A = this chain, B = another copy of it.
Amino acid sequence: MLTIALPKGALLQESIARFQAIGLDFSAFLDKSNRQLQITTPNGKAQGLLVRAQDVPVYVEYGQAQLGIVGYDVLREKQADVAQLADLGFGHCRMSVAVKASSPYRSALDLPAHCRVASKFVKCARDYFNSIDLPVDIVPLYGSVELGPITGMSEAIVDLVSTGRTLQENNLMELEVLYESTARLIAHPISYRVNSDGLSDLIQQLRSPALVTI
């Protein structure tokens, strides 16, 4: 049976809507009383795995799920060996460099060499500062990255921004946008190529804007 990895969090509701539009109902995952992480659609056609966004590419890469939905931000950070099939056009956000609004910096290049930059996206932050040839000390954090500049631990942060409300509430200011991110449809490369479980048809339907806007 086809298995699909779905991301907990911000992308879940719309991800479920996209599969619902093509006849695969994983809405049981939205039920707050649900504790199951593995369910089968009522029509018995597919199985869903509810996992952390960062784990979606892992389940797909190892072939435990043939399809998955995950943000481009996670894909860039994890560099998993998966096929990126479609930009699903939802979950818009951006990866940005931000500093205290009261700081004198107006671009990332203004940051002092060897300053500290806090981020959950260590690889992405390192790649960016390498690309502008500015040596910085990346401080890896798991959450609440905005505390970096507030406590004085770091001069800047690299973090995902969607509405900008968190930055505003913490008196932070965006300096640069590294890239824009949206939800992506990914597949296990071999399953995709051998078209196991009629994967190609499903992917075609998920890609079709007519269907996905139902």
Contacts and interface: CB of A to CB of B under 8 A. Distances in A.
Interface of A: 3, 8, 37-38, 49-52, 54-55, 58-59, 62, 64, 116, 139-144, 147, 150-153
A139 B49 contact: no
Contact of A153 (B59, B139, B150, B152): B59
23 contacts: A37-B147, A37-B150, A38-B147, A38-B151, A49-B147, A49-B151, A51-B147, A52-B141, A52-B142, A52-B143, A52-B144, A54-B142, A55-B141, A55-B142, A55-B143, A55-B144, A58-B139, A58-B140, A58-B141, A59-B151, A59-B153, A62-B116, A62-B153
B38 A143 contact: no
Given A49-B147, A55-B141, A55-B144, 7 more contacts: A3-B151, A37-B147, A37-B150, A51-B143, A54-B142, A58-B139, A59-B151
A62 B147 contact: no
Contacts of A50: 144
Binding site of A, secondary structure by majority: helix, strand, loop or mixed? Answer: mixed
A7 to B, nearest CB: 11
B144 A51 contact: yes
A147 B52 CA distance: 11
A113 to B, nearest CB: 18
A150 B38 contact: yes
A52 B140 CA distance: 12
A144 to B, nearest CB: 6
Nearest to A50: B144
Given A58-B139, A62-B139, A37 B144 contact: yes
A11 to B, nearest CB: 15
Given A58-B140, A58-B141, A147-B38, A152 B64 contact: yes
Contacts of A55: 141-144
